[in-house]
Amino acid sequence: MLSQIPNLQYVAAWAVGPLAAFGVVAACCARSKTFGAAPGYAATCLVHGVYIVAICYYSLVGPLGWLWEQPATLQERMYGFDPSAEKICLLQMALQLYAIATALLTRHPLLLTPVALTHHVLTGLSMCAAMHPFGHTRVNVFFGITELSTIPLEVIDLFKGFKELRKQCPKLDLACKASFALLFFSLRIGLVTHASVGFQRDLYELYATGTAHSLVVVALSSLFNALICALQFYWSTLIVAGMRRALGGGGGGKGGRSE
């Protein structure tokens, strides 16, 4: 337990620090003509980007070879330790705490949705399970490199809450929507779905061979992975619907945020 204190301090620092920054940014946004109508939502989006940059950094400095070729043995794949994966887990824990806290503080309808809150809880619990270490070779696939798609989404979400700002930057809006769709389908649908098949197979092998450190964790990891994949596919239908509306001349996009 004592060995986990530095990790708990890391998560606490990354949760409390951005929340403090959120308060400062919200106060500044309240004085802005652009963001004055919803300063809390604007601050949430702006500070949220700090987490995404940090997670993307650790996803890119980690062992990228695992994206297309996993270690040979089951023990290496499921119980090997990676410091970059650990940092991604800790940052994701803090991010989910921040996202839930700001959703409750702002009560903004784009933030406080059942789907978004479910995603935050599932991701946070998955990160806690991964700290054993457990499944570090796939942490970057599921929760690291996929956050590259969130970079253009940050701009889209900001525009979604401030439609006048979106009207002022139509080319940026279009570029972000196109890049987000490309990254979402290639990373969160293509890469994650492919990796999930191998992950589920390894979870079953842990159960079948009796080598799992915890059958409860294995079962919940399998369930959470399936639910997160289902959420990704659900969001993909919203993206496709938004693209159809955009091509038809109307507005469109995802309802709510996803991290």
Instruction: Classify residue 257: in a domain, yes or no.
Output: no
Instruction: Classify residue 79: in a domain, yes or no.
Output: yes
Q: Give the number of domains in the chain.
A: 1
Distance of CA 56 to the CA centre of its chain: 10
Instruction: Classify residue 107: in a domain, yes or no.
Output: yes
Which pair of structure tokens corresponds to residue 47? Answer: 């500070």
- CB of 213 closer than 8 Å to CB of 132: yes
Instruction: Classify residue 255: in a domain, yes or no.
Output: no
Instruction: Classify residue 213: in a domain, yes or no.
Output: yes
Walk along the chain (259 residues) and give the pLDDT tens digit of each residue: 445 678 999 999 999 999 999 999 999 999 999 999 999 999 999 999 999 999 999 999 999 999 989 999 999 999 999 999 999 999 999 999 999 999 999 999 999 999 999 999 999 999 999 999 999 999 999 999 999 999 999 999 999 999 999 999 999 999 999 999 999 999 999 999 999 999 999 999 999 999 999 999 999 999 999 999 999 999 999 999 988 887 775 544 455 565 5
Instruction: Classify residue 256: in a domain, yes or no.
Output: no
Instruction: Classify residue 259: in a domain, yes or no.
Output: no
Instruction: Classify residue 252: in a domain, yes or no.
Output: no
Exposed e or buried b per residue across 170-195, where buried means at least 16 C-beta atoms within 10 angstroms of its C-beta: eeebeebbebbbebbbebbbebbeeb
Query: pTM of whole model > 0.75?
Result: yes
Domain span at 87: 2-247
